[in-house]
Amino acid sequence: MKFTEEHEWLRVEGDVVVVGITDHASEQLGDVVFIELPEEGTEVTKDEEVCVIESVKAASDILAPLDGEIVEVNSPLVDEPGKVNDDPMVEAWFFKIKPSELSQMDDYMDEAAYKTFIG
């Protein structure tokens, strides 16, 4: 897994990358009450806003960590946004992206570096 400074995690699964937010981000947000996911088939550019997540404390934008196409979204999160608080690192992923350039993953931290970053 790789991690961004915006507290997103990225996990490669075959030719796609699964994207979600970290436990740390989930804790900082508090109770998540709304999620707006991107449309499948959308072409995105790295650092472009692709999701909006709202909690009782704040609203946050989720940025595309890579250039590519959104190939799947976790649509149950729209009806059950609280899953982000329950299991942000596994069940509550936001979207899967087919990257144009997988080497963009090299820009991100591994788990040890991320723990130091949030420490």
Q: pLDDT class for 106, splitting at 50, 70, 90?
A: very high
119 lies in some domain = no
Determine, yes or no, domain membership for 36: yes
Domain that holds residue 22: 2-101
DSSP E strands, 1-119? 2-3, 8-13, 16-21, 32-36, 43-44, 49-55, 59-63, 68-73, 95-99
Which CATH number belongs to the domain containing residue 73 in this structure? 2.40.50.100
- Residue 88 pLDDT: 95
* Domain contains 116: no
Residue 95 lies in a domain: yes
Burial letters 42-64, b for 16+ CB under 10 A, else e: bebeeeeebbebbbeeeebebbb
Half-sphere exposure of 59 (CA within 13 A, CB side): 6
Q: What pLDDT score does 97 carry?
A: 98
Q: Domain for residue 97, yes or no?
A: yes
Q: Specify the length of the chain in residues.
A: 119
Domain total in the chain: 1
Instruction: Place 13 in a pLDDT band, splitting at 50, 70 and 90.
Output: very high
